[in-house]
Chain A
C-alpha cells in the first residue's frame, strides 16, 4: 500500500489555501501525515483563523504536525520569546512597518503554542526543516552549491532534507563524486578518500504549491492545490 507524506509551508495566515490543500488530500490515496514546515503566519493578513484550525483540526482534516519557520521566528523574537534577540532580520530586510504589521496579524493568545513548535522533525532518514540544519532562515535552492547542500545533510546525518524557506519546488539529488584528502601531523602523513553519499535536498514549495512524498518508492510529487493535476503527472523518482 502506498504511504505518502504531504509537505506544506508558507501559508502565512491563508486559511483558504489550507482548506484547498486539505480538500486535495482527502481525494489523494495513501496520505498518512501532513507536515507544515513553518511560515504559518505572515504580515499580509490576520492569521488567527488559520492558527485556530491548525490547533483544532476540523472533522475529516488530516491532522497537521507543525514546526516553526522564519516568520514565526521573527514574531517570537519581537515578542520576547528569543532572549535578547528581536526581529532584526525582518527589520533589516523590510523595515519597521513590516514588523508592526506582523505583530498585528497574530493574537497574543497564540504565542505560547507557536513558541512550543519544534525547529524540525527527523522522520525515518529524512529531516523536515523550514530552512536547514544551519538556520531557520537558510535559503536553500536548486542553485545553492552542492557542497553547501551536502554540508547541511551531513550535519544531521540524514539522506533527505525537505526544506521550505526558498518557497521553490525542486528535487536535487547528489548522485556521485568524491574527494581525496591528506592529513599531515607529528606522527606522519595519511591519505583518505571519501565518496559522495547518495542524498537529496527537496524544496517543498509554499502556499498553494505543496509536495507529496511516497516514502516506499522515494518519489516526490510537486502539486498545486485546487488544480486538476494528479500526483502521477509530476512524479519524480
Chain B
C-alpha cells in the first residue's frame, strides 16, 4: 500500500493545497506529516486548520516546538546571525497571528510517530533541530536509525528530499580491559537501514520552486520523490503584504536558501 509523507509546510497554503490535491488524485489516503506547519510563510492558521480538518497524523517540528516553548531551543543551524534575526522576526509574527486553539494543537503534537518498523520524526530521533543531511557521516546516520529501533526513518527539516540506503556495514573492534589483558577481537555486522527525507512542501531548498513530498510503498519499500508545481507568486505576494522579510519571498521564488555571510563567523551558540 502506498502512503504519502509531507513535511515543512511553513504556512504556505497554496503549496499545501497543491500537494494534498496531488496525493488525493493518486487515491492515497494515508498521509503522515513531519511538522513545521508554521514559520516563514504568511498563512499559519490556514495551514494548521487544513491539517486538523484533514485529520493528518502529524509530529511536531522545530518551528512548532519553538512557537509553544519559546525560542529556548538552540538555533545555531541558522546560516548567519542575520538569518537568525529574520527567523526571530518571523517567529514573533507567527506567534502574534496564531490562534490559541491552533497553538494548543501544535502543543499536542508528538515528537515522533511509529508504525511497526517505520519511524517518523521532524529532524532526527534525537531532536527536532538536528539536521540529517544526505552526505552526513554514514555511521552516524545509521546510528540514528538503529538506536531508534527503526528499519526506515522518515525525516524532514533539511528541505532537501532524498532517499539514503545504508548497507554492507561492519565494524571490527579489539577489546583490552583490566581483568582480561588479552586482545579480544570481533566484528559486528551492521544492519541495512534507510533514511527518507520528504523535503519541503512550503519552502523548498533543493534548487527548484516546486513543493516536494515522498510516497512509500510499505510492501516493496520503494520510495518515490514527488515534485508539485503551485502558484509560488501568490505566496510571495502574501509574504510581502504580511510585512514578513522580503527575502523569504525571494528565496521561495528561487528554491534555495539565501544566506548572507555571517557577521561573526566564529559565532558559537551557548544557549
Count residues on chain A whose CB falls below 8 Å from chain B CBs.
Answer: 38
What residues on B are CB-neighbors of A176 within 8 Å?
171-172
Residues of B within 8 A of A (CB): 134-135, 137-143, 146-147, 160-178, 181, 185, 187-188, 190, 206, 208, 212, 223, 225, 227
Cα of A183 to Cα of B223 in the assembled complex, Å: 12
* Complex alpha-carbon distance, A151 and B139, angstroms: 7
Q: Could you count the A-B residue pairs with CB atoms below 8 Å apart for me: how many are there?
A: 128
Measured in the bound complex, the distance between the Cα atoms of B226 and A12 in whole Å is: 58
Cβ of B227 to closest chain A Cβ, rounded Å: 7
Q: Jot down 9 A-B pairs with beta carbons below 8 A, ordered by A.
A: A147-B147, A151-B140, A171-B176, A182-B167, A184-B225, A186-B227, A194-B137, A209-B178, A236-B181
CB-CB under 8 A from A172, the residues of chain B are: 173-176
Which of these, B166, B176, B190, contacts A170 with CB under 8 Å?
Answer: B176
Kindly state whether residue A181 has any CB partner on chain B within 8 Å: yes
Residues of B within 8 A of A150 (CB): 139-140, 143, 171
B142 and A179 form a contact (CB under 8 A)? yes
Contact B176 A147, beta carbon cutoff 8 Å: no
Asked whether B143 lies within 8 Å of A183 as measured between CB atoms, the reply is no
Smallest CB–CB gap between B160 and chain A, Å?
7
Cα A154 to Cα B138 with chains together (Å): 11
Chain A, residues 125-151, CB within 8 Å of chain B (1/0): the string is: 000000000000000001001111011
A196 at interface, CB cutoff 8 A: yes
B138 interface neighbour in A174, A181, A184, A185, Cβ under 8 Å: A181
In angstroms, Cα B189 to Cα A176, docked, is 12
Residue of A nearest to B147 (CB): A148
With contacts A170-B178, A182-B164 taken as known, whether A196 is within 8 angstroms of B138 at the C-beta atoms is no
Our pick among B135, B163, B174, B223 for the contact of A192 (Cβ within 8 Å) is B135
A-side residues, CB < 8 A to B, are 142, 145-148, 150-151, 154-155, 168-186, 192, 194, 196, 203, 205, 209, 220, 222, 234, 236
Would A185 and B162 be within 8 Å (CB), given that A173-B174, A178-B169 are in contact?
Answer: yes
Q: How far is the CB of B270 from chain A (nearest CB, A)?
A: 12
Tell me, rounded to whole Å, the shortest Cβ–Cβ distance linking A228 to chain B.
15
B139 surroundings in chain A (CB, below 8 A):
147, 150-151, 154, 179, 194, 196
6 pairs of A and B residues whose beta carbons are closest in the complex? A179-B169, A222-B178, A169-B178, A170-B177, A151-B143, A176-B172
Among B161, B167, B173, B177, which residue has its beta carbon within 8 angstroms of that of A179?
A: B167
Give CA–CA (A77, B15) in the complex, Å. 45
Please, how many angstroms separate the alpha-carbon atoms of A185 and B158 in the complex? Answer: 13
| Cα–Cα distance between A168 and B177 once the two chains are bound (Å) | 9
Q: How far is the CA of A155 from the CA of B144 in the complex (A)?
A: 12
Q: Are B143 and A185 in contact (CB under 8 A)?
A: no
Contact assessment for B190 and A147 in the assembled complex, using a CB-CB cutoff below 8 Å: yes
Could you tell me the distance between the alpha carbons of A172 and B175 in the complex, rounded to whole angstroms?
Answer: 4
- A177-B135 in contact (CB<8A): no
Asked whether, in the complex, the Cβ of B134 is within 8 Å of the Cβ of A185, the reply is yes
* Residue pair A147, B171 in contact (C-beta under 8 Å): yes
Q: Which residues of the other chain, A, contact B181 by a CB distance below 8 angstroms?
A: 234, 236
Cα A75 to Cα B174 in complex, Å, equals: 37
The residue on B at minimum CB distance from A189 is: B163
Known: A147-B139, A192-B135. A185 touches B175 (CB 8 A): no
A184 to B174 Cα, complex, angstroms? 35
The docked-state distance in angstroms from the alpha carbon of A174 to that of B160 is 33
